[in-house]
C-alpha cells in the first residue's frame, strides 16, 4: 500500500478520535480530497458565496449501495454525482459538499482507498469541493462496508422559474438517455439470480445536460429519476399538477439488456433507477429543438417520451399496440440498496 497503515482492515480504534483516527483521515481522506477550503483542524468550514445575482440551494442525501463497487462506478463517485445531480436539476451550479462517513469495522482499507480516490476524481470533474466531514466506525455486522451521507450547496440564478408547479397541460416530456441502466447494473453485479453481464451503470454528473436545457426559456421542470425510475416521477407530476402524464412506450429508450433482464425477473424498466439521466418537462414549441441540441452534444439516446394532458391525475403508458395502461404507484422496494 502507498499509505501508512499497520493493518489492512478498518478497526474500531480508527473511530475513537485518537491517533489512529487522525492517521485515517490525514492519510486517506485528506490525501485524496485536499483543497484550499478543507481544514481538518476546525469544526466548520467557511465558504465563499457570491449572492449578488444568485440564491443558495441546499440538498442532502445518503448512499448505501451494495456492492460498493459496480460496473460504471462505486459508492464514492455515486455519492458525488448523486448530490451534484440533485442540485443540477434544481437549476443550481453545485459548489460545495460535506461528507459524513460511516465505515464498518473489518472493511479493507484498500477498498476504502479506491472509493475515496474515485470520489476525488468525481469532485474534480464536477468542479465541486468537499469542505467538511465526519467519520464514524461501526461494529462489524452493523453496516454494509461503508455508508456516506452528503450535503450539497449550490447557487441558482435569481428569478429562475423552474419547478413542478410550472408544468402546464400540453407540455412535452424529454428523457436524456436510456432508462433503468443503474438499477439493472446493480442487480447484475450482485449475481443474486445467477445472472451476470457487462451492462454499465449510467451513474454520472448530469450537469452538462441541465446546463444545456437551462438555455431554453420553455424549460419547466427537471428531475433525475433515481429510486422508483421515471414512472415514479410521472406520479409526482400527476399529483402535483392534477393532470395526466402520458408516456409513449415506443419512444422510451431502453437498452436491450435491460429489457431482457427485466422480462426474465418480472421487473419494469420504467420503475428502475437511473443515476445519470434527466427527465425534463418543456413547452412544446421548444422541446424538439432542445432534443436535437442534446443529441448534438453527444446524448444520442435522448428522446421525447411523453406529454402532459388535461386531468385526471393519472400516469399512463401508451403501449406499442396503441392501447394504454395505468402505471401503478410503487409501493414495495423490489431492489433495495441501489444508491
Residue 5 lies in a domain: no
Residue 337 lies in a domain: no
Residue at a domain's end among 157, 183, 208: 157
Residue 331 lies in a domain: no
| 171-193 pLDDT tens trace | 999 999 999 999 999 988 887 66
If asked whether residues 153 and 16 sit together in one domain, one would say: yes
pLDDT for the residue 1: 45
Is residue 4 very low, low, confident or very high in pLDDT (cuts 50, 70, 90)? low
- CB neighbour burial string for 281-313, b if at least 16 within 10 angstroms, e if fewer: bbbeebbeebbebbeeeebebbbbbbbbbeeee
- How far apart (Å, rounded) are the C-alpha atoms in residues 59 and 90? 10
Residue at a domain's end among 134, 157, 180: 157
If asked whether residues 149 and 206 sit together in one domain, one would say: no
If asked whether residues 171 and 317 sit together in one domain, one would say: yes
If asked whether residues 80 and 128 sit together in one domain, one would say: yes
| 9-34 pLDDT tens trace | 999 988 888 888 898 999 899 999 99
pLDDT for the residue 331: 79
Which structural domain range is residue 147 located in?
A: 12-44+51-157
pTM of the model: 0.95
If asked whether residues 110 and 209 sit together in one domain, one would say: no
Task: Please indicate whether residue 142 or residue 195 has the higher confidence score (pLDDT).
Answer: 142
If asked whether residues 111 and 148 sit together in one domain, one would say: yes
Residue 338 lies in a domain: no
Residue at a domain's end among 122, 157, 192: 157
- How far apart (Å, rounded) are the C-alpha atoms in residues 252 and 22? 50
Q: What is the CATH number of the domain that holds 93?
A: 3.30.1330.10
Residue 334 lies in a domain: no
Strand-pairing partners, residue 99, are 133, 150
pLDDT for the residue 5: 74
Amino acid at each position: 500500500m502507498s499509505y501508512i497503515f499497520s493493518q489492512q482492515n478498518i478497526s474500531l480504534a480508527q473511530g475513537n478520535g485518537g491517533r489512529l483516527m487522525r492517521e485515517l483521515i490525514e492519510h486517506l481522506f485528506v490525501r485524496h480530497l485536499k483543497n484550499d477550503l478543507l481544514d481538518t483542524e476546525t469544526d466548520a468550514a467557511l465558504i465563499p458565496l457570491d449572492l449578488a445575482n444568485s440564491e443558495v440551494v441546499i440538498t442532502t442525501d445518503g448512499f448505501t449501495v451494495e456492492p460498493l463497487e459496480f460496473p460504471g462506478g462505486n459508492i464514492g463517485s455515486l455519492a458525488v454525482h448523486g448530490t451534484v445531480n440533485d442540485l443540477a436539476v434544481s437549476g443550481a451550479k453545485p459548489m460545495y459538499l460535506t461528507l459524513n462517513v460511516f465505515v464498518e469495522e473489518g472493511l479493507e482499507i484498500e477498498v476504502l482507498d479506491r472509493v475515496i480516490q474515485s470520489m476525488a476524481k468525481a469532485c474534480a470533474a464536477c468542479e465541486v469541493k468537499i469542505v467538511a466531514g465526519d467519520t464514524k466506525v461501526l461494529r462489524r455486522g452493523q453496516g454494509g462496508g461503508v455508508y456516506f451521507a452528503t450535503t450539497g450547496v449550490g447557487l441558482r440564478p435569481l428569478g429562475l422559474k423552474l419547478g413542478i408547479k410550472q408544468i402546464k397541460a400540453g407540455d412535452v416530456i424529454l428523457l436524456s438517455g436510456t432508462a433503468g441502466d443503474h438499477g439493472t447494473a446493480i442487480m447484475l453485479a450482485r449475481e443474486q439470480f445467477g445472472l451476470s453481464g457487462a451492462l454499465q451503470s449510467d451513474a454520472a454528473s448530469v450537469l452538462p445536460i441541465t446546463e444545456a436545457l437551462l438555455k431554453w426559456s420553455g424549460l419547466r421542470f427537471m428531475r433525475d429519476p433515481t429510486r422508483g425510475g421515471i414512472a415514479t416521477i410521472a406520479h409526482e407530476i400527476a399529483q402535483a399538477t392534477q393532470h395526466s402524464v402520458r408516456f409513449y412506450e415506443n419512444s422510451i429508450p431502453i437498452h436491450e439488456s435491460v429489457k431482457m433482464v427485466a422480462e426474465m425477473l418480472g421487473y419494469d424498466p420504467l420503475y428502475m433507477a437511473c443515476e445519470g439521466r434527466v427527465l425534463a418537462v418543456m413547452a412544446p414549441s421548444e422541446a424538439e429543438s432542445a432534443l436535437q441540441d442534446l443529441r448534438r452534444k453527444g446524448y444520442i439516446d435522448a428522446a421525447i417520451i411523453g406529454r402532459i394532458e388535461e386531468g385526471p391525475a393519472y400516469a399512463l403508458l401508451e403501449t406499442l399496440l396503441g392501447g394504454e395502461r395505468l402505471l401503478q404507484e410503487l409501493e414495495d422496494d423490489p431492489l433495495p440498496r441501489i444508491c
